Amino acid sequence: MKRRGRMGAIGCLLASMLLAGAIVPANAAADSTIAVISDQEAEDVIVADQEAEDLVAPSEEDLLSAQAIEGDISFIEQDGTTQTLSGSDFKADLAQVSGDSVTLKDGWYYVSANKTFNNRVEVSGEVQLILGDEVQLDCKKGIHVTSSGSLAIFSEPGGTGKLIADASDVESCAGIGGNVGESGAHLVKICSGNVTAKGGVDAAGIGGGERDGGKGGDGGDFIMYGGTCNAHGKEFGAGVGGGNNGNGGTIIIYGGELSAYGGYYTALFYEGGGAGIGGGMASEFASGGDGATVIISNSTVEAYSTGGGAGIGGGGGEPRSFGYGGDGGTVTIKDDSTVYVNTKTNDESEPGWAIGAGNDGDNTKGSVSLYDGAVVIQDPDGANSKFATENDRIKYCRESKVIKIEPCKHVNATYSKSATGHTLQCAYCKADDGTKEPHVFDGDNYCVTCGYHLNAPHFKRANLVLGERIGLTFWADLPTLVGVDYGDAYVELSVGGKRAHEACGGR
Ligand SMILES: [Zn+2]
Ligand SMILES: [Zn+2]
């Protein structure tokens, strides 16, 4: 609660008092630990490092409750394929671990049924976790992953496994990531499944914990390949990225859907917040965390912030203590991704920039790059939505408060057309590189893209006169430009210059 002491505002003090009563100390963690259960016998169970974690060994009863996993377990890998492991490949089925605590060390874990851990789950080493379909793993005080640990999350093939890591009542600790003063995990990876992560006061949803003294916990690395993720920072923490004062880390979204919400803090005449994706907010004469290195590829991302944090970029500033907002990060948006950013969901102070610095940060730093076919829409939700022109797209990203980036639909585009194809001329994106594309015709012979009308059908006729009175006429639909389709061709018999049908009186 250090930072609130100097705020002085009555509201802050009240808030502090209220919070102090409600908050469980970060290291109240575990009063006992069921640890990693091996794939062998009960005696193979590895008890967590008691000295480091101040934990008590699990009871005999707890150990016996952990059973070996029978049969194979399939799951969605990061490349989207379904993979299968044998039950003996797993260290434990967490659903069979009794008690409220667990420490996961190197290896694979499975969750076969709903399970709740009321203490903070500890991850040390390289841990892979497969969530059973329709199963929820509820970590009531979040998951502690140190900067040397990694956590990879998968679901069974239905993709419906769910992990909730909610540290929102654990001050200073990330939902998934560092404790107070610690950076985020070496790597948090979501390959499939549905993850919700909520940080405690001044910590990130996924990433760093609150600062301890000077610099806050940086974000660590976060990679998504699929599934869904909702990440909420609290107060000065980023949704995904740094805790209070912490930098953003590296965040790569290769697939799936991420929604990230920076924290928000308000008191009398004062408010602040972390970035949706990026740095935590400034405090105590230290600047806000700088933005992350962010790559979004073939994905859907929403980033929200309020109180001064950037949507994607730096944490908010704190003018009262001369803490400037964090700078923007390096942001690359590729491969038809859709990105929505809103930095003014709830605040009255100056919001941060959509993709760039937090308020009072240096918005000339950092960079944004977009795929050629992206359109940038400012204030996309309201009646005043405005498309950035092709050359303003980056400027709009950096200097707007609410934007949407999505594949351009080339509204009001013009096309140079010829019989052999069309060439796009769009004012809002860079997809108009002069490439001529072939027409694609609908059933009425209009190009669905450029509207070019094929001058067809061309009924061509060839008469073959057989004597004076009898002729054969070959009719065919001969579109000359897109190949020839003789599907409608037919032969007509005429007698005496009249169609046979007429000549015979309809008989
Ligand atoms: Zn366009
Ligand atoms: Zn066309």
Among 87-96, 265-274, 275-284, 470-479, name the one with the lowest average pLDDT. 470-479
Q: How far is the CA of 380 from the centre of ligand 2 (A)?
A: 29
Who contacts 426 (Cβ-Cβ below 8 Å, separation ≥6)?
A: 390, 408, 410, 413, 432
Residue pair 349/308 in contact by the 8 Å Cβ criterion: yes
pLDDT at 270: 76
* Closest ligand to the CA of 373: 1
Q: How confident is the model at residue 464 (pLDDT cuts 50, 70, 90)?
A: low
Q: How far is the CA of 424 from the centre of ligand 1 (A)?
A: 8
Is 451 exposed, middle or buried, given 0-12, 13-18 or 19+ CB atoms closer than 10 A? exposed
Is 218 exposed, middle or buried, given 0-12, 13-18 or 19+ CB atoms closer than 10 A? buried
The listed range with the strongest mean pLDDT (298-302, 483-487, 500-504) is 298-302
pLDDT at 226: 98
Query: Is 0.85 surpassed by the pTM of this model?
Result: no
Tell me the pairing of strands 312-313 and 355-356.
parallel
Q: How far is the CA of 225 from the centre of ligand 1 (A)?
A: 27
Report the b/e string of 245-266 with b at 16+ CB within 10 A.
bbbbbbbbbbbbbbbbbbbbbb
Residue 352 in this model has a pLDDT that exceeds 60: yes
Q: How confident is the model at residue 482 (pLDDT cuts 50, 70, 90)?
A: very low
- Residue 123, classed as helix, strand or coil, is strand
Pick from 169, 179, 292, 167: nearest CA to 238 = 292
Q: How far is the CA of 336 from the centre of ligand 2 (A)?
A: 22
pLDDT at 67: 66
Q: How far is the CA of 420 from the centre of ligand 1 (A)?
A: 21
Q: How far is the CA of 413 from the centre of ligand 2 (A)?
A: 12
Q: How far is the CA of 32 from the centre of ligand 1 (A)?
A: 59
Average pLDDT over residues 233-240: 96
Who contacts 64 (Cβ-Cβ below 8 Å, separation ≥6)?
A: 42
Q: Number of C-alpha atoms within 13 angstroms, CB side, residue 357? A: 17
Average pLDDT, the chain: 82
pLDDT at 254: 97
* Closest ligand to the CA of 429: 1
pLDDT 10s digits, 17-30: 333 333 333 333 33
Whole-Å CA distances, 113 to 39, 59, 77, 153, 231: 18, 22, 20, 16, 23
H/E run at residue 201:
strand 194-201
- 361 φ/ψ angles, rounded to the nearest 5 degrees: -85, 175
Average pLDDT over residues 104-118: 95
Q: How far is the CA of 206 from the centre of ligand 2 (A)?
A: 47
Residue pair 408/373 in contact by the 8 Å Cβ criterion: yes
Helices marked H in 196-267:
none
pLDDT 10s digits, 358-416: 988 889 999 999 999 999 999 999 899 999 999 999 999 999 999 999 999 999 999 99
Among 43-52, 70-79, 178-187, 348-357, name the one with the lowest average pLDDT. 43-52
pLDDT at 494: 65
Residue 6 in this model has a pLDDT that exceeds 70: no
Average pLDDT over residues 235-250: 94
Q: How far is the CA of 311 from the centre of ligand 1 (A)?
A: 24
H/E run at residue 503:
helix 500-503
Q: How far is the CA of 454 from the centre of ligand 2 (A)?
A: 10
Of residues 482 and 252, more confidence is placed in 252
Average pLDDT over residues 298-323: 89
**Residue spans per domain, the chain:** 104-407, 411-452, 459-503
Average pLDDT over residues 76-103: 94
Q: How far is the CA of 380 from the centre of ligand 1 (A)?
A: 16
pLDDT 10s digits, 162-195: 999 999 999 899 999 999 999 999 999 999 999 9
